[in-house]
Amino acid sequence: MNKIRFYLLGIVFGIIMTKSEVISWSRIYEMFKFQSFHMYGIIGSAVMLGIAWIQLIKRTKIKSRIGTPIQLTPKQKSVPRYLIGGTIFGLVWAMTGTFPGPMFTLVGNGTLVMLVVILSAIIGTFVYGLLREKLPH
Amino acid sequence: MIELISQPWPWYISGPAISIVMFLLLYLGQGFGVSANLRTLCAIGGGGKFSNFFNFDWKAQYWNLIFVVGAISGGFIASYFLTSNHPVQLSTAVLTELEHYGVVNAGTQFLPDELFSFEALLTVRGGIMMVLGGFLVGFGARYAGGCTSGHAISGLSNLQLPSLIAVIGFFIGGLMMTYFILPYLLQLQI
């Protein structure tokens, strides 16, 4: 099974999330208070290098491991959806200090109360699915 | 080597490392986005009966669930085998500010006990932060079509305008919370 690769990558991701302190509530608080460069440095350098990767992929047209062209699905065009959804997400990003990646990593760290947060997030996703047609997109 | 890895990682190691994970996921034929798993979990739980949004081939997303199980394992490995004595290197201004709100463990724990624990869950403040907070993380991430990994990292790397709008939204919301709501919420000692 090729799935083991995803498991290993996940482990690496969890270690990065922990050792970079991205999973720290206070780090997020500090970021929104503009008191430290740490989070900006992480996101900024990840995006800078990410832009380079994607340009490399586009220009060399390298194939993925399974031989298919690498998928870079463009996001659908819209403004309200991203602005409203993004603002809601930002409000709680600052409040809970966590976002989906760290939520799971924190469970591994032994913060089991995060399971409650994850359960709530699943319910939130479900309610979005129910209301989807009625929301501006 | 273990000694070195166990130190807190500076941003110039962490950021590029995240982008390498993104690249490897693309190379394996997939895309980086953690919140998509919440939708997958809804689909597995039978959400398709209630909304078409959950009618999709979730088996194709199986890899992502495995990735998340890996992230949990990674968190375990990092916090039990790669520990350092250094608390989170917060700025002193932030530490003082949080102490003022009664949060004294901000620098030694990833999630201060005062705010995030099973005891705190029974308080109004804890309920708002964890239950309502979690709910809106799930709701907001799907509404925006992605979270930090999908928009801020993958989307911006691919120079997607929608992702830039979403990230601007993340900051509008984040700043509103931090400056206008958190000061009251943190003082709520019930």
Q: Which residues of B touch A16 (CB under 8 A)?
A: 9, 14, 17-18, 21, 74
Inform me whether the C-beta atom of residue B18 falls under 8 Å from chain A C-beta atoms: yes
Q: Mean pLDDT throughout A95-99?
A: 88
Going by C-alpha positions, the residue among B6, B82, B21, B8 that lies closest to residue A10 is B21
Q: Is B187 on the interface with A (CB under 8 A)?
A: no
pLDDT tens digits along A39-81: 999 999 999 999 999 999 888 888 888 888 887 777 888 889 9
Q: Is the dihedral of CA B1, A49, A94, A29 positive or negative?
A: positive
Min distance A9 CA to chain B CA atoms (Å): 7
Q: How much is the pLDDT for A84? A: 94
pTM value is 0.93
The Cβ-side half-sphere exposure at A114, using a 13 Å CA radius, reads: 25
Structure confidence by residue, pLDDT tens digits, B108-154 = 888 898 899 999 999 999 999 999 999 999 999 999 888 888 888 88
| pLDDT of A42 | 96
A118: three-class secondary structure by DSSP:
helix
Does the CB of B116 have a partner CB in chain A at under 8 Å? yes
- B168 and A CB contact within 8 Å: yes
pLDDT tens-place string over residues B176-190: 999 999 999 998 877
Of all residues in chain B, the one with the smallest CA distance to A48 is B157
Taking 80 as the threshold, does the pLDDT of residue A2 lie above it?
no
pLDDT for B167 beyond 90? yes
Identify which has the larger pLDDT, B17 or A75: B17
Measure CB to CB from residue B133 to each of A29, A96, A105 and give the nearest one: A96
pLDDT for position A74: 78
Residue B87 carries which DSSP code? P
Sign of the dihedral through C-alpha B27, B75, A15, A123: positive
B15:A109 CB<8 A? no
pLDDT confidence of residue B145: 87
